[in-house]
Amino acid sequence: MEAQYPPCQKCNNGILIPLSDYGRQGSEIRYKAWVCTNPDCGFNIRIDNGELSIGHNLEKSNK
């Protein structure tokens, strides 16, 4: 069964895909962020330390 993700409500061209991360203790944080697949859009929504943040600039990590 193929997963279906929601369309981006900002650009209507991309879809929102979930991203996961690891916490400080090494435990998995599922769906920490959702980002638009349209590179020209850049919409994202994420959870940082229990707070919801929307639309922050995305940057490539050096890790």
List the one residue out of 12, 41, 30, 23 whose CA is nearest residue 58. 41
Q: What is the DSSP letter of 25?
A: T
Of 57, 54, 27, the C-alpha closest to 42 is 57
Question: Which residues share a beta bridge with 20?
Answer: none
Tell me which residue has tokens 């020209």.
40
pLDDT in tens, 26-63: 888 888 899 999 999 989 998 887 888 887 666 666 66
pLDDT tens-digit profile of 9-22? 999 999 999 998 88
Of the candidates 15, 19, 11, 9, the one whose C-alpha atom is nearest the C-alpha of residue 46 is 19
Domains of the chain, by residue range, sit at 16-54
